[in-house]
Amino acid sequence: MQFDDLALEKLWRVTAGHPYFLQLVCHTLVNLHNRLRRSYVTVGDVNTSLDEILTAGEAHFVYLWMESSPAQKLALFAMSHMSSAGFLTPIQAADDLARRGIPVERPELTDAFQKLAARDIFSVVQRPDQPLGEAFGWKLGLLGMWVEKSKSLRQIIEEGKNRI
């Protein structure tokens, strides 16, 4: 199979080279192309495969979600609903959550962002023009797509209550 450059870029952006997710997307792409009898992959094909994965393949997403603390889940939610800038600071996330009626301590959220970066879910974005502190972006964008599609703020709050 031949891959369009945009397709490769999208594959890397959503999987960050994570072996499980890269294999999952490629497996779905091969199955799609066997059905279509094509030998080239476009970014549209990657998007179609991602839709299939988000609908059917939840096990690893659920595992990553369950391994996250309540503050990390709020950080994941905030990041999945970030602006089109492609990055977010914990301060911006705390302000956004407060506007949604969920007050969270900034140091706790900052710690959650840093721990998610240590888990290779977020990456630190070098932004010298960012006055609000360290900025973060998705490293594992596929998880962000799943969170956006599958998790509401209400669910996260309920999960946090049940965890205590």
Element (H, E) at 41: strand 40-41
What's residue 162's pLDDT? 61
Name the residue with higher pLDDT: 71 or 18. Answer: 71
42-46, 73-77, 119-123, 155-159: segment of lowest average pLDDT:
155-159
What's residue 55's pLDDT? 78
Domain boundaries, the chain: 2-57, 63-163
Distances (CA, A) of 129 to 17, 99, 133, 134, 144: 28, 24, 10, 10, 25
Amino acid at 3: F
What's residue 127's pLDDT? 65
Mean pLDDT of 42-56: 89
Nearest one of 118, 115, 79 to 97, comparing CA atoms: 79
Distances (CA, A) of 158 to 59, 71, 139, 164: 21, 13, 27, 10
- Characterise 86 by phi-psi region: left (phi > 0), alpha (psi -120 to 50), beta (else): left
Mean pLDDT of the chain: 88
Q: Which residues pair with 2 in a beta bridge?
A: 40
Name the residue with higher pLDDT: 50 or 126. Answer: 50
What's residue 164's pLDDT? 41
Residue 16 pLDDT level (bands cut at 50, 70, 90): confident
- Res 86 pLDDT > 50: yes
63-163 architecture in CATH?
A: Orthogonal Bundle (1.10)
Mean pLDDT of 85-95: 87
What are the pLDDT digits (tens) for 102-117? 989 999 999 999 999 9
